[in-house]
Amino acid sequence: MPAPLTGTPVSPRPSPGPFAHPRRLAAAVAAALVAALLLLVPAPAAHADPPPLSQGRPVTASSQENGGTPATAAVDGNDGTRWSSAFSDPQWIQVDLGAPAALGKVVLKWEAAYAKAYRIELSTDGTAWTTAYSTANGPGGTETLNISGTARYVRMYGTARATGYGYSLWEFQVFGTGGSTLPGGGDLGPNVLVFDPSTPDIQGKLDQVFRQQEAAQFGDGRYALLFKPGTYNGINANLGFYTSIAGLGLNPDDTTFNGDVTVDAGWFNGNATQNFWRSAENLALNPVSGTDRWAVAQAAPFRRMHVKGGLNLAPNGYGWASGGYIADSRIDGTVGPYSQQQWYTRDSSVGGWTNGVWNMTFSGVRGAPAQSFPNPPYTTLDTTPVSREKPFLYLDGNDYKVFVPAKRTNARDVSWGSGATPGSSVPLSQFYVVKPGASAAIINQALAQGLNLLFTPGIYHVDRPIEVTRPDTVVLGLGLATIVPDNGVTALRVADVDGVRLAGLLIDAGPVNSPVLLQVGPPGASANHSADPTTVQDVFVRVGGAGAGRATTGMEINSNHTIVDHTWLWRADHGSGVGWDTNRADYGLTVNGSDVLATGLFVEHFNKYDVQWNGERGRTVFFQNEKAYDAPNQAAIQNGGVRGFAAYKVADSVTTHEGWGLGSYCYYNVDPTIVQDHGFQVPDRPGVRLHDVLVVSLGGKGQYAHVVNSTGAPTSGTSTTPSTLVSYP
């Protein structure tokens, strides 16, 4: 083992003033004269320190005091954010410089809770450590330590605290030469297929992907099919699981198919209720028959599409279907949902709409049917209160960029109707292109460098949370890129900052319970983000199905003004690793932030509350839910004196909340005698209002006693007929 390295602390010492002693008076006068003469001599140029090698690097710590004091705050270059540890000894914080560096100095900027005794340790592999500096009498404040040595990893290892609190650093700065940075941009990886009109055998390649993905509901394949601007003839793009198709123009009409983008249900005997996890975006279609078929269920967005004809949302033969979501799209002809149980359409234009089964909800849709719930079951809002379209990849000449649409207030119709969508473009060089095999440490290093993230299609296991701490960061997934947290960690956390965009991701729970899978803002987040809210779009959560997974909460929203625009949070009712306690997940969505808006909220099968809303002034436009099928008996879902946990629970403390187009279904097939007191539970206050609410017993497998609280007729018998309320109260 090499000999320990040594270093000398460098700390400026205050000196007495020049007039502290009479003998110094003459010297002070002389010094003043010399200083005056020196004003005539040019001063040497100041040499500022280069940026620390540690700034923005992956960082870990032995603990953190709370969600607002993560380790990343000590290397973010901001003296107003800090890392703090648990209140015990020993504790450490460690930074990865990315590559070996020749080190010269460490600067510790302590908060009031500092280390009395600690070591600065160096390592080339993160396992074997040598001591570069140690003290048993640290002074706190800002300590500048001269060290020497070559290392990739540097840590502060605290052995004795100076206070009763933990260790707390505003900044942990490492200076030297070397280290490494991650490049932005690059190719899009092996699972992105890019076509132009001259590409040979386009149809053959599309068919090959479809054959592989058609029935691969829990498979590992992930694909993005991208089409450069131009016209494509004779195309029929059948989409299977985990397949996204998109045009690479700035507007949908830049990429035109004389043909179809098709989802049908032949693989499942004409039943479309499991056609999950696929998407179509940013294309114009001239359907061969005049009508395109998009027979999907949950987690299958249809965005920025221009259908120059009609759109059929039912499978061939009109078998069962349970979807779905359309946004920022223009359908020139008629939309026929036929057997679709529910659907939400936002900020779009339709030539007509033919029918509805239980819950058809529209906001900001030109051509939508008039408000008429429950017969027909149309809930129609003239505008969407706040919306911002999902970021998307496009080509500017030969250069890939990501377009980030601007926020719209009281939106109606498509964002691209009068030309380009308002917003801004970010070159791919400002993104770290994440490819299969990337670790959480590398991903966090890219974020800390100031890069955005573009996840290429694949499955990514993370052993620590992905930490998004910079305002306006874009995290965009292609081809249902899937993040799996290992060892019970949170998959992705967002700081309480403005304007983060999360889009196009599937978060799949691991076998060790995670307290939460996606967290937007730390607990107690309080900043005002009304001008630039964080958006969560086409971000899906799955617990079980692909294997036993566990999580206490699927998604937790703590930041104020967050927009959740189309999500499906699903505790699996089929697939692998499924059982009442096998894929345990108590809560789907928990909202603690104020002024949060959900547009297109699908949450199903959680063991307790599917949605629990604790924040003030929350709003939901469209909600679809099924209670957990597999409850073993009435006692398993007993909630104190209430039979069953509500699908949608607004906390008793909330004074203002509003929802439109809300439905909950039960199918207690293990014990059909189970009774659910209500689908919705809200406080009885004038500011809490629900519009167009329904509950349904599917085939009589379990029953609802009421719709909201103790109001609304019960479901009864085996008739799958909704019990409805036009308004509550």
Distance CA(354)–CA(156), nearest Å, equals 66
Contact yes or no for 565/326 (Cβ under 8 A): no
How far from the centroid of its chain's Cα atoms is residue 9's Cα?
43
Q: What is the 3-state secondary structure (H, E, C) of 197-263?
A: CCCCCHHHHHHHHHHHHCCCCCCCCCEEEEECCEEEEEEEEECCCCEEEEECCCCHHHEEEEEEEEE
Distance CA(11)–CA(145), nearest Å, equals 8
Q: Do the strands 310-312 and 306-307 form a parallel or antiparallel pair, or are they unpaired?
A: unpaired
Q: State the amino acid at position 284 in one-letter form.
A: A
Looking at 313-465, which runs of residues are DSSP E strands? 325-327, 330-336, 342-353, 359-366, 378-381, 384-388, 392-396, 399-405, 407-411, 423-427, 431-434, 452-455, 459-462
For 426, the 3-state DSSP assignment is strand
Place of tokens 């997974």: 549
Q: Phi, psi (5° rounding) for residue 305?
A: -105, 145
Contact yes or no for 557/596 (Cβ under 8 A): yes
Distance CA(24)–CA(12), nearest Å, equals 22
Task: Give the closest residue to 167 by CA, choosing from 246, 287, 62.
Answer: 62
Catalytic status, residue 556: no
| DSSP label of 49 | P
Distance CA(624)–CA(653), nearest Å, equals 24
Would you tell me how many other CB atoms lie within 10 Å of the CB of residue 408? 20
Q: Do the strands 142-161 and 8-10 form a parallel or antiparallel pair, or are they unpaired?
A: antiparallel
Distance CA(647)–CA(639), nearest Å, equals 12
Q: Do the strands 359-366 and 378-381 form a parallel or antiparallel pair, or are they unpaired?
A: parallel
Residue of 121, 171, 556, 626 marked active site: 626
Contact yes or no for 246/225 (Cβ under 8 A): yes
Distance CA(82)–CA(193), nearest Å, equals 43
Q: Phi, psi (5° rounding) for residue 376?
A: -65, 160
Place of tokens 């692998």: 576
Q: What is the full DSSP assignment across 284-346?
A: EE--TTSEEEB---SS--EES-EESSEEE-S-TT---B---EEES-EEEEEEE-TTBSEEEEE
Q: State the amino acid at position 233 in one-letter form.
A: N
Q: Do the strands 342-353 and 452-455 form a parallel or antiparallel pair, or are they unpaired?
A: unpaired
Task: Give the closest residue to 108 by CA, choosing from 97, 99, 122, 119.
Answer: 119
Contact yes or no for 709/681 (Cβ under 8 A): yes
Contact yes or no for 366/350 (Cβ under 8 A): yes
Contact yes or no for 635/601 (Cβ under 8 A): no
For 407, the 3-state DSSP assignment is strand
Write out the catalytic residue numbers. 626
